[in-house]
Structures are given as structure tokens and as C-alpha cells.
Amino acid sequence: YAYNELFINYQFGFIRRGLLGQAFIFLNTNINIEPKLFFTSIFFILYVLQIVLFLKIFKNFFISNFVLLILLFSPVFILFNIYDPNIYYVKDIFIKVSILFHAFVFIEKKKNGNYSNYLKSLKFLIIPTIIAVSLIHEYQFFFVGVHFLISLGFCNSKKNFICLLKIYSIILIPFILVIIFIGNEGQYYELNNYLEKFNVKLHPQLKGGLYSAFGGFYKWHFYYFNYNQFVKLFLSFILGIIIFYYIFHKFMEKKIIKINSNYQKKYLLYFLPCLPIFILAHIDHGRNISLISTNLVAFYSTFYFNEKKYNDYILNFRLKFTKQVILLIFIVFYIFMWKLDQYAGYSMRDQNNMIFESSLFSEIKKLINFLYYYVDNNLFDLPDLNI
């Protein structure tokens, strides 16, 4: 489904999520590039870029071993797509990279206190990126508030606030276009006929629009959803989002980190527009949790980090043996004993989908098995595994 959706294009009129597919159609027509080479290369670059940006924006925070472990080995961030390879081609990665890139640009400009330089980057780099990503995946619109929130870090007057509003107002144009041309039945059938040469068939949701989205939400959450699945979703929400809010909020209370501007004080309000994706995505709530959490921690990464106060806090923490033991147990559990897949515990077609299953341990086992068969098939014979 995710791979097929990449082929949505503008051959039969403007339509949501069509920019990436149109880029492929252009290159395929002119230089005959193969679809798997084109799409796989782009996503590989994006996943590598995600890792690089993650390391860049949190390099100050990584003085804390706890923050280092819980961010790098969380099933929510970098490892999310490794634990669930079925979502390799899901366009969410564009949204994640856009917010990480914005955080990186902000941090670099904030070091020099160069507001005018940041505004230039915002106008000619960040905003065009947001618009391009919005035309690839309309979910980007729900996270524009987080981008605006990061920009408020340079805001110290009403004049600055109005200036930022004017810059961001240009995003209304693609937003209106996507709302108007969300896709219809005619485009769905025409695109499917056109894409037969690539052996691709689009999902019927494309022709349903918002009506289909709300209908799907009702069906999956009030007809199929059961109590156990709700509990797993609720726990995924806590382990995937609330835990990071708690950690960084605790850092704020201890003045280890602090916001850059008073205009950012009520920052949670800017995350409210993100919540409708839980309706539009039907049951892919693991993806939603990963998206919101990535945007949340990217925002926190732009805060000023006080290394001295952190060291004082850790020194006091180390004196209390009980707290250290509890923290160690939590880290082991968090890294090794739960997972977040795209359904966040929802079970489809009678499959048993649990969030409390080995994550990193399981991947290590897969790697060992892969290496065994790779060596056995390509290098030299290894002992038979049969008992």
C-alpha cells in the first residue's frame, strides 16, 4: 500500500500527495529511471539524514547517558522503521526530516543570535521545504504549528510575532489547494489505468476524501476496536509521547533547559492541531505517535541546555541508590521489552499484535540469523542448524 501510494501524480489534475509521484513520472519519461531505484534511493537518503540530524540537534543533550540511551534506542524514533520494515516507504519520514532540519537550522542561527539570517533561512529554505513536503504528504499541515513554535524562539516583540505570521501565511495557498483537490473517483480510476504499466494499483481511500476518513475512523474505533487494543494504544501513547514530555518538563522545572522566548510558554497549544491525524489515519496510530513525538523532542532540542545545572542534578541523583536502581530497570525495560509498530497494538485479521514483545533483542537475533545464512550461502559452509 505504501509503495503503491508513491505513484500518485498530477497527470490527471492536481491531487493531494502527488508531488513525489510526479517527480518520478518526469524522470521516468525523460531518463527511464526505474521506480524501485528512484523511490528506494530517496527514502534511504531520508533515513540516513534523519539519523544525522538527530545526532546533530541533540549533541549537547547527549552529555546525559540517560537521554542518549532513551532517544537513540527508543522504538519511537530512529528504530521505528527498523522494527517495522513494512513502513519503509511511508511518507511520514518527509515530515520528520523537515522538523529535524528546521530545529538544526534554528540551533545554528541561535548560536550567533542572528535573527535576520534566520529569517532568510526561514523564507527561502524552511518554508519552501514545508510546502514541498505538504504536497508530498498533507499531514505536514497539521505540524506547521510546531514549525511556527520553533520560529517563536527568536520572537521578543509583537512586531516579530506579526512578521513570522506573514511569512508562514504563504502556506495557506497549498493548504487550500489540497483541501479543494483532495481526490475524487474519476482521478482514482484514471490514475489506476495509467499506472498499470508499473503494476501498481492505488488504495480506494484516494477516491473517498474526508468522508471516507471519518467513516473509517468510526468503523475501526467503535465497531472493531476492543478493550485490550485500547489499553495497548493508551500504553503506547504514554511510552511514546508522555514519557518524553515528562522527562523534558522535569528538566525545565530544574532549569536544566529553558525556552528561548516567552512566546513559547504555552507550547502545548501548538501541538493541538496534530491530534486530528488520529482520525485521518484510521488505525495507524503507531505512526501518529512517532510523528508527534519526533516533533515534540525536535522542539525541545532547540532549548538552551545548562550543563552545570545538569551535572548538579545528576550528582544529587547519584547519591540516592534507590532512584538509580529504578532508573536502570526502566531503561532496560524501555529499550528491550516493548515495541511500537504502525498499529500500536491493534490486531488485524486475527493476528496477535502485542506491544510488550522483544524489540532490540529481536532485531539482534534477526541480524545474527541473517549473517549466518549470508555467510553460509556466499562465503563458506557453516555447520548445519538442524538438531
106: pLDDT strictly greater than 60:
yes
> What does the pLDDT look like over 286-319, one tens digit per residue?
999 999 999 999 999 999 988 888 888 877 776 6
Q: What is the pTM of this model?
A: 0.90
Confidence of residue 117 (pLDDT cuts 50, 70, 90): very high
Element (H, E) at 248: helix 243-253
Amino acid 372: pLDDT: 86
Q: What is the mean pLDDT of residues 346-366?
A: 71
Cα–Cα dist 43/299, whole Å: 23
Distance of CA 295 to the CA centre of its chain: 7
Instruction: Name the nearest CA neighbour of 87 among 367, 358, 284, 332.
Output: 284
Query: What is the grid cell recorded at 333?
Result: 525495560
Whole-angstrom Cα distance, residue 285 to residue 221?
11
Task: Express each pLDDT in 130-183 by its tens digit.
Answer: 999 999 999 999 999 999 999 999 998 999 999 999 999 999 999 999 888 888
Mean pLDDT of 202-215: 67
Q: What is the DSSP string of 26-51?
A: HHHHHH---HHHHHHHHHHHHHHHHH
Residue 13 backbone dihedrals phi, psi, to 5 degrees: 105, 165
pLDDT at position 113: 83
3-state secondary structure of 116: helix
Task: For residue 376, give every residue at least 6 positions away whose Cβ sits within 8 Å of its Cβ, in sequence order, or none.
Answer: 382
Q: How high is the pLDDT of residue 280?
A: 77
Cell of 78: 530512529
